[in-house]
Amino acid sequence: MVAPPWIAVPPPGYGGVEAVVALLSEALVARGHDVTLFAAPGSRSTARVYPLLEDAHPAEIGSSLFESDHVASAWEQIDVAAEGGLPFDVMHDLSGFTALAMADRVNVPVVHTIHGAFVRETKRFYRRHGHKAHLVAISRTQAESAPPGVQIDAVVPNPIKVDRWPLRTEKQDYLLWIGRMDPVKGADRAIEAARLADRMLVLAGPVQTGQEEYFRKRVEPHIDGRGVKYVGEVTGVAKQELYANAAAVLMPLRWREPFGMVMVEALACGTPVIAFPEGAAAEIVIDGENGMLVANETEMAQAIEQIGSIDPERCRSSVAERYDIAITLAGYEHVYRRAIDPDRARRISRSRRRARDPRRRPAKPINGR
């Protein structure tokens, strides 16, 4: 299992992918699988943990320097294991892009989970490199948005261990928005919806590098401690209590969110979600059953007045039925078995050779010569 190099597993605060890696590794070990986890320093797991770099890099997420160093070091350990007579059966990459781009350079079948949305740049990347591994999408919406020629082997949702989240049927009056302060996440739109509904809004989450101007101009001027409170990044029990006591969680997204752990975590606590129907929100939120899907801030404000009709226990069961760790574990076990099937491996190897054959895909000259 190759986690990203930025944040420890499990994450001390913000860290969606790292939380997924933590739960999946733990579940695989509990099922009797032999799991090695390549992760950032400070990581803990029931799997064997190998930190490959000297430090974690939470302030440098996306740096090609640290990602390539991390992946190359994992490749080296894979070779060492094979030379020692204990080769890995399969490598599961959740680390980013480098491992997929180089997946045909390692003598182990690679499963790659796609965590981001398909946009112009990533569509090109997956067209060029997607054939090198077994691709897993984390929602049907994400899988359906894959560009032509990119084969998605399976859809396996991100997991949650539902019984670790408190169910609260009696709610307080505040609304909650939680996430990173990225414009596409819509903290400013949540503020407007809460204002229109005349309800208090609690904002929680980090201001990451590059998000400072948006926070300063669009969010901070509204924070007054009464109508809008900002509590920063919350973790552990404090985060769970914030979810469990909220009247509703607002998700005014304006991008094709591939999954949305905030929604799943809120629902596990029995808290309804009111969301724009962008990306996987339209899958996770069952309109009128565990929350409401709305078109804009005005409709969101109107929906806030109707949240008393949503049953907290149904919110929780809607997550347990679709996203519990047992479902994710079974999905990945199936993908792993397909990946290591020798007949399938031979077919994929032939297709890779054809894809790399310069007679089939001649490179375009830069200068026309």
What is the predicted pLDDT for the residue at 211? 94
Tell me the pLDDT of the chain averaged across its residues: 92
Check if the beta carbon of residue 21 is closer than 8 Å to that of residue 43. Answer: no
What is the predicted pLDDT for the residue at 342? 61
On the CB side of 159, CA atoms within 13 Å amount to: 23
Residue in 301, 260, 300, 304 with CA at minimum distance from that of residue 278: 260
What is the predicted pLDDT for the residue at 208? 87
Q: What are phi and psi of 357, to 5 degrees?
A: -65, 115
Residue in 257, 123, 77, 86 with CA at minimum distance from that of residue 182: 257
Give 227-271 pLDDT, tens digit per residue: 999 999 998 899 999 999 999 999 999 989 999 999 999 999 999
**Which H or E element spans position 66?**
helix 64-83
Question: Which pair of structure tokens corresponds to residue 335?
Answer: 């993908």
Residue 113 has pLDDT above 90, yes or no: yes
Angle of CA points 151, 153, 159, to nearest 5°: 130
What is the predicted pLDDT for the residue at 328? 97
Backbone dihedral region for residue 118 (phi beyond 0: left; psi -120 to 50: alpha; all else: beta):
beta
**8 pLDDT tier (thresholds 50, 70, 90):** very high
What is the predicted pLDDT for the residue at 59? 81
Angle of CA points 360, 366, 369, to nearest 5°: 85
Residue in 269, 313, 309, 256 with CA at minimum distance from that of residue 287: 309
Q: What's the whole-number mean pLDDT along residues 55-84? A: 92
Check if the beta carbon of residue 41 is closer than 8 Å to that of residue 56. Answer: yes
Give 137-183 pLDDT, tens digit per residue: 999 999 999 999 999 999 999 999 999 999 999 999 999 999 999 99
137 Cβ contact list (under 8 Å, min separation 6): 114, 143, 146, 152, 154, 155, 156, 258
Q: What's the whole-number mean pLDDT along residues 192-199? A: 98
What is the predicted pLDDT for the residue at 363? 39
Check if the beta carbon of residue 167 is closer than 8 Å to that of residue 270. Answer: yes
Q: How far apart are CA 364 and CA 359, in angstroms?
A: 12
Tell me, what amino acid is at 331? G
Letter string b/e over residues 36-74, b meaning 16 or more CB atoms within 10 A of that residue's CB = bbbbbeebebebebebbbeebbbeebeeeebbbbbbebb
330 Cβ contact list (under 8 Å, min separation 6): none
**16 pLDDT tier (thresholds 50, 70, 90):** confident
Q: What's the whole-number mean pLDDT along residues 96-122? A: 94
**195 pLDDT tier (thresholds 50, 70, 90):** very high
Q: What's the whole-number mean pLDDT along residues 357-367? A: 42
Residue 71 has pLDDT above 60, yes or no: yes
Q: How far apart are CA 47 and CA 40, in angstroms?
A: 14
User: CA 254 → CA 207, 266, 295, distances in Å?
Assistant: 18, 19, 11
312 Cβ contact list (under 8 Å, min separation 6): 167, 168, 169, 171, 270, 271, 272
What is the predicted pLDDT for the residue at 341? 84
195 Cβ contact list (under 8 Å, min separation 6): 227
Residue 14 has pLDDT above 80, yes or no: no
Give 307-351 pLDDT, tens digit per residue: 999 999 999 999 999 999 999 999 999 999 999 986 654 555 555
Domains of the chain from N-terminus onward: 16-159+326-356 (3.40.50.2000), 162-323 (3.40.50.2000)
What is the predicted pLDDT for the residue at 13? 73
Look-up of token digits 């929350």: 291
